[in-house]
Amino acid sequence: MNVDVLILGGGLAGLSTAYHLGASGAGSRLVVEAKDRVGGTAGSEAHGGFTFDYTGHLLHLHDAHGQALVLDLLKGNLAEHQRRAWIYSHGVHTRYPFQANTRGLPAAVVADCVAGFLETAHRPDAPARRPDFLSWSRATFGAGITRHFMKPYNEKLWRVPLSRLTTEWQGRFVPKPSPAEVVYGALVDQNKLFGYNAGFRYPVRGGIQSLPDALAARLEPGVVRVNARVEAVDLREKVAVVAGLGEVRYERLVNTLPLVDFLDLAAPLPADVKAARRRLRWNTVWNLNLGVARAGVSDKHWVYYPEKRFPFYRVGFPGNFSSALAPAGGSPLYVEVARPGGARVDVPALERAVLRGLRDAEVLRPRDELAVKAWMPIKVGYVVYDFARAPALATIFRHTSALGVESIGRYGAWKYSFMEETILDGKRCAERLLGKSSAAAEENFAPLESPK
């Protein structure tokens, strides 16, 4: 089989590249997807009458093209919501973001947080040249907020010491309130929506799967092949071995698989690229979905759990995004636990700890019946922004770019990004393949920060 553009992976990045290339653009194009459906991480699974996403997948639309495309794809199937996000610690719920809403916590904790924040406002530290996340958090939010939320929560999520993390990833999504807002939020239940993800859109029916399905439906038949796992890629000969298709020869290659997986399939690779690949780190999100046989388990959208006594860092209630995700009388829940990528996990033991934690946090009642339990782990969940990442990527991409390979999307580009940005990654990749823009222009594009 011969194609002009071979696209590895049928998630949003791969589908968007094929869509933006258009039927007549760069010649023939083929998307090969290992699973039996498109969508990748932005997909959904049905279990016992419930529909589960790979944890919460909410639409934040900031770009004119991205917004117009998504609104058109999901015309008549989108609802708007105002975020209801909370934090549970010291036995109480406080509003997100923690740094602006400490009212209700024990007085000593509130004092610690507010005093520490005010100290940073009055005696700002000189900004470090290459700050690590922990020092940055202490300098930005103070010792109290760092101790009570930023450090424990981010350790649970990233699973690496925070002094090894850079601050590149946090961008605009960690809201910094003013001193007046911190003091006010310590005294009053302020229902002010901080941060740029204060509102979101979500499909009325079908879960987030309806987005990649709608995008795939815009492609001509035969452009996407599912159940077509890439097994090997010879970068020099420009040929990929794909299950069910055999050898596929290509002119240009677009990778959207997790970069580590792609490099493990690709040959030949020089020693410096192999060494750089070994320096890449990620976490796995162990996502347990529950179908609870009780309506209205929570009125919230999601809750963050910074304390060590709970194995999970976040629990979401997607029935409050869309009632179509659950049968009548049921509530869907997603529970997120992070572990270092590649670590062995005793899943039955983890499940017991999660269920115990949910009861301790009073999310589940002792007599609650679980109609469904479905693990949907995300093998590469978040790429770790440690100090080794950027130099390793420079080495890898120098080599792959020289071979004409595009590596894009959240995992192909090995970054922290969200669905709209992923769709735009595909658009810009298509433009480069069509000769309408250059990689240099791409580097000048200021990426949108993640919603979470």
Ligand X SMILES: Cc1cc2nc3c(=O)[nH]c(=O)nc-3n(C[C@H](O)[C@H](O)[C@H](O)COP(=O)(O)OP(=O)(O)OC[C@H]3O[C@@H](n4cnc5c(N)ncnc54)[C@H](O)[C@@H]3O)c2cc1C
State which residue, 120 or 154, has the beta carbon closest to ligand X. Answer: 154
**Could you say whether residue 376 binds ligand X (CB under 6 A)?**
no
Query: Rule CB under 6 A: which of 20-39 touch ligand X?
Result: 32-35
Nearer to ligand X, 105 or 285 (CB): 285
Residues in contact with ligand X, counted by CB under 6 A, come to a total of 35
Is 40 an interacting residue with respect to ligand X (CB under 6 A)? yes
Query: Which secondary structure element, helix H or strand E, spans residue 287, and what is its range?
Result: strand 282-292
Distance of alpha carbon 115 from alpha carbon 80, whole angstroms: 37
Residues between 114 and 143 with contacts to ligand X, criterion CB under 6 A: none
Which among 80, 86, 95 is positioned nearest to 322, based on CA atoms? 80
The single residue among 7, 51, 56, 213 that binds ligand X, judged by CB under 6 A, is: 56
Least spacing, CB of residue 382 vs ligand X, in Å: 6
Shortest CA distance to 266 belongs to which of 238, 292, 247?
238
For residue 347, the number of C-alpha atoms closer than 13 Å in the C-beta half-sphere is 10
Among 95, 138, 301, 410, which residue sits at the site for ligand X (rule: CB under 6 A)?
Answer: 410
Tokens of 33: 């997807």
Q: At its nearest, how many Å lie between ligand X and the CB of residue 449? A: 11
Number of CB atoms found within 10 A of residue 36's CB: 7
Comparison of 111 and 241: residue with beta carbon closer to ligand X: 241
When binding is defined by CB under 6 A, the residue of 117, 282, 286, 418 that contacts ligand X is 418
Does 256 contact ligand X by CB under 6 A? yes
Find out whether the peptide bond into 179 is cis, omega within 30 degrees of 0. Answer: no
Q: Which of 11, 97, 116, 203 binds ligand X (CB under 6 A)?
A: 11
Say whether residue 350 binds ligand X (CB under 6 A). Answer: no
- Does residue 248 bind ligand X (CB under 6 A)? no
Site for ligand X in 275-334 (CB under 6 A): 285
Q: Which one of residues 280, 422, 429, 433 is an interface residue with ligand X (CB under 6 A)? A: 422
User: For ligand X, which residue of 230, 239, 259, 337 counts as binding (CB under 6 A)?
Assistant: 230
What span, in angstroms and rounded, lies between the C-alpha atoms of 428 and 286?
Answer: 32
Cis peptide before 97 (omega within 30 of 0): yes
Residue indicated by tokens 């992976």: 9
State the Cα–Cα distance between residues 41 and 208, nearest whole angstrom: 10
Q: Which of 6, 9, 263, 384 binds ligand X (CB under 6 A)?
A: 9
Told to check if 229 binds ligand X by CB under 6 A, we report yes
Q: What is the DSSP string of 23-78?
A: TTSSS-EEEE-SSSSSBGGG-EEEETTEEEESS---B---SHHHHHHHHHHTTT-E
Nearest of 413, 294, 432, 262 to residue 363 by alpha carbon = 294
Q: Site residues (CB under 6 A) for ligand X?
A: 8-14, 32-35, 40-42, 55-58, 60, 229-230, 256-257, 261, 285, 378, 381, 409-411, 417-419, 422, 451
